[in-house]
Structure 1
């Protein structure tokens, strides 16, 4: 990732969240706590995009071709609900 601009923020985490993030950093060999937060942010962004695309596919994709593309991208049939897929 190209970090052309950085900002400092003071954040407070509950103990269990901090322990999880520190363990995640160690287990995945991330170079810094900031890299761990960046990885978490990326995962949240991906999940948000996936959820939005699933909503689009279920609500608006009446075209069988669009439905097939959505199913392929999401890797599950649209008849199932995204919240049931883990």
Structure 2
């Protein structure tokens, strides 16, 4: 397997799965760190206070979607619902 196949392989499978298109697109944006977070707005020159809604860290893609304590609680809730019989 080449380097490009390793990167593109999972995405090819994701686009084929039976998931709503908006979920696929959002997942792709998050993985590419392309979501319009406060961090991105600051880079574009907007004058804002960059704080996540947890008020603990700056709002970046990594923090907002992976490390924020509120997001982690939401992920646990979603995963527990999806595993119920």
Task: Provide the TM-score with structure 1 as the length reference.
Answer: 0.30
Which one has the largest radius of gyration?
A: 1
